[in-house]
Amino acid sequence: MTESQGTYEQPHSYSAPVNPEWPPPPPYQPAVAAPEPRRKRTRGPIGLLAAVAIVAAAVGGGTAYAFQELTGKDTVATAGSTTPVVPSSKKGDVAAIAAAVSPSVVEINATLQNGSATGSGVIITSNGEIITNNHVVSGATSVKVRTSDGKSYTAEVVGTDSSKDLALIKLKGASGLKPAALGNSSGVQVGDTVVAIGSPEGLTGTVTSGIVSALNRDVTVPTDENQGQNPDGEGQWPFQFGGREFNGDTGSSTTTYKAIQTDAPINPGNSGGALIDASGRVIGINSAMYSSASSSSSDAGSIGLGFAIPIDTVKSDLAKLRAGSDS
């Protein structure tokens, strides 16, 4: 039989036509299933957040804050004992800690009926929730806040808890702020390096350092907003410790809490500021300090006896404060 070019007369062979779209399988070979098309990698919000979470966990610092900004939720930035805010190579470096945490600490100026009070506060959400001491804002008719970059805001008192000397305030019209990472005070040990940041005597962003001197100190402070308020804004706050009174009369209405004692120099105006561990996590809110004399004396100031409310106490009280408790 003569074979002409371009014809296909052989019954037992198969040649595919040129550029087929879907060629049939050879007649004498078993059909092979075509491989499934590759699935596209998920690029939606869930996949993106999962990828960011992995990267952030590897990097370490600012994990909770990064996740918060991406999801748009104003959640408190917490950090576990293995999540440093400063690089591990800079652990304990006061300059590195100050650079990382100072943007999260603010100066608070409260106007009282009989004067004013100056204190500090710690930003805990990017939209302007701030933890401070109750005695800083107690009885205030208005509250002004200045951030580390010099911006000023008006704030409202959301909730107070005089039994723990804590208060939550909220800035009006704030966004994109840097919240501090809240650590775990249960792991703090005597001798640990700490850094204090606040606004003593209105000197915004003052940084000092020291160690944890003792734990679980019973500190007694007033609960009545009129007790111990200093109308001239010096920020002294009376408290009792070891059966003795310091910085004035605490009065008859008082409460006692367990405090972290530190020798990091803190002075009037530091109240409500941050006590920070070597990795840059907030472990306490500075609340009381002993001054050997009145602030007008030449020897006034810190003598290495300062007290801070453990951050675990703050975290356990946060829901109550957010609910608008006024106690």
Output the CA torsion sign for 179, 261, 236, 239: positive
- Tell me what pLDDT residue 151 has: 96
Residue count of the chain:
327
Ordered DSSP codes for 284-320: EEEEEEEESS-TTSTT-SEEEEEEEEEHHHHHHHHHH
Cα–Cα distance, 4 to 7 (Å, whole number): 6
Q: Which residues are catalytic?
A: 135, 165, 271
What is residue 55's predicted lDDT score, i.e. its pLDDT? 39
**Nearest Cα residue to 290 out of 236, 228, 209, 215:** 236
Residue 244: the pLDDT is: 76
pLDDT of residue 73: 47
User: From first to last of its 327 residues, what are the pLDDT tens digits of the chain?
Assistant: 554 455 445 455 545 455 545 555 555 555 555 555 555 554 455 444 444 333 333 333 333 333 343 334 456 665 544 567 999 999 999 999 999 999 999 999 999 888 888 999 999 999 999 999 998 998 899 999 999 999 999 999 999 999 999 999 999 999 999 999 999 999 999 999 999 999 987 888 999 999 999 999 999 888 765 555 554 444 567 788 777 777 777 777 888 999 999 999 988 889 999 999 999 999 999 998 876 554 444 445 567 789 999 999 999 999 999 999 787
CB 284 within 8 A of CB 308: yes
pTM of this structure: 0.72
Task: Return the closest-CA partner of residue 270 out of 215, 308, 319.
Answer: 308
Query: For residue 94, what are the CA distances in angstroms to 40, 86, 268?
Result: 47, 10, 21
Please report which helix (H) or strand (E) contains residue 168, including its range: strand 166-171
